[in-house]
Structure 1
Amino acid sequence: MLKFFKGIGYLEAFSAIALFFFAMPMKYIFNDPIWVTHIGRAHGALFVLYMVLVYILKDKYNWSWKIFLIFFVASIIPGGTIWADKRLIEGKRYNS
């Protein structure tokens, strides 16, 4: 389950970066909004899935609210899910 969570976290981070640094410039500089529609939809779905998984894993692994909030805040920051994965999952600090 943690491997799936990690994968979704990486995809969510990549989709956020693609949205901000590719799709939005395509919309506002080159007047091509279709990229924001598709990448934004994918990013939204990945964000929701990530948050559902954070909630499920909180119960499964008995995470504290502090760990839950770290994962939540990390999901808002572009690339933050990668940082959270490296810091908490790979560092085995998610039981704190």
Structure 2
Amino acid sequence: MSLEKQLKLFKWISILEGLSFLILLFIAMPLKYIYEMPQMVQQVGMAHGILFIAYIAGALLLIKPMKWSLTQLGIILGCSVLPFGPFYVERKYL
């Protein structure tokens, strides 16, 4: 796969992972704990988990082609656990 295609795929994964995290935090979790509706957490949580793993794998596969330093990689991986973090990575590093 060409670098251009890898970057495009990782950008999409990054955006979707960020959105799934925000939906999980700001919609699904309040529904679960305020309105006692845990179903959305189960569904969004599974999607987010898969996207999170894809994000980590994608970042690891792009280390060499993008010539990221270990510090940059640490920031990119750290942003995966912060709300809005993947959007920062998409803007700054891709």
Give % identity. 36
Which amino acid letter does the alignment assign opposite residue 63 of structure 1?
Answer: W
Which amino acid letter does the alignment assign opposite residue 7 of structure 1? Answer: W
How far apart, in 2, do the equivalents of 1:33 and 1:3 lie? 34
Matching residue of 1:22: 27
Q: Distance in 1 between matches of 2:29 and 2:74?
A: 28
Unaligned runs of 5+ residues in structure 1 are: 90-96
CA RMSD of aligned residues (A): 0.9
Q: CA deviation at 1:50?
A: 0.2
Q: Which residue of 24, 43, 65 corresponds with 1:60?
A: 65
Could you list the per-position Cα deviations for residues 49-75 of structure 1 after superposition, in whole angstroms to 9, with x for gaps in the alignment? 000000010133332111111110111
Higher helix share: 2
- Secondary structure in 2 aligned to 1:29? helix
TM-score normalized by the length of structure 2: 0.90
Question: What amino acid does structure 2 have at the position aligned with 1:32?
Answer: M
Deviation of 1:40 after TM superposition, in Å, equals: 0.4
- Shift of residue 83, structure 1, vs aligned partner: 0.7
Q: Find runs of 4+ consecutive structure 1 residues off by over 6 angstroms.
A: none
Aligned to 1:84: 89
Number of residues of Structure 1 aligned to a counterpart in Structure 2 = 89
